[in-house]
């Protein structure tokens, strides 16, 4: 199957700082990528849809100024958590859709804000 690489796999940052997470499709081009958030023992919640060359579409309740998404190329989308606070601590996962409609996910990023 197609490969989606997410980096870093974990990060610890101080409250008030910003953190950038990268999501790359390694062997296919992805015009659309998705960012999800997962709380412990819960399922994935879609945060936003990232479209190459245009603004991201955010789900209701997700602060677009806090979670900045950039999809500058067909193989890279980034999520920046700005002015992070402890309540932003979570597991963030990206996905990209292959040509057959199958969704492929990155390894996830564990963010801890202290």
Partner 1 sequence: KQEVTQIPAALSVPEGENLVLNCSFTDSAIYNLQWFRQDPGKGLTSLLLIQSSQREQTSGRLNASLDKSSGRSTLYIAASQPGDSATYLCAVTTDSWGKLQFGAGTQVVVTP
Asked whether 29 and 14 are in contact (CB, 8 A), the reply is no
Q: Does 6 bind partner 1 (CB under 8 A)?
A: yes
Query: With the CA atoms of 81, 77, 2 and 29 taken in that order, what torsion angle do they form, in degrees rounded to the nearest 10?
Result: 170
The contact mask relative to partner 1 for 18-37 (x = CB under 8 A, - = no) is: --------------x-x---
Contacts with partner 1 in 76-95 (CB under 8 A)?
91, 93, 95
Neighbouring C-beta atoms of residue 95, cutoff 10 Å: 21
Using alpha carbons only, what angle is made at residue 85 by residues 84 and 88, rounded to the nearest 5 degrees? 80
The answer to the question of residue 100 lying near partner 1 (CB under 8 A) is: yes
**What are the residues binding partner 1 (CB under 8 A)?**
1, 6, 32, 34, 42-44, 46, 49, 91, 93, 95, 97, 100-108, 110
């Amino acid at each position: 199957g197609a490969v989606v690489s997410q980096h870093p796999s974990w990060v610890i940052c101080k409250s008030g700082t910003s953190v950038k997470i990268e999501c790359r499709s390694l062997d296919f081009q992805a015009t659309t990528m998705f960012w999800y958030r997962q709380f412990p023992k819960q399922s994935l919640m879609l945060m936003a849809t990232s479209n190459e060359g245009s603004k991201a579409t955010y789900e209701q309740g997700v602060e677009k100024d806090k979670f900045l998404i950039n999809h500058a190329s067909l193989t890279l989308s980034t999520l920046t958590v700005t002015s992070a606070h402890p309540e932003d601590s979570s597991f963030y996962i990206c996905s990209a859709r292959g040509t057959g409609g199958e969704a492929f996910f990155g390894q996830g990023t564990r963010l801890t804000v202290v």
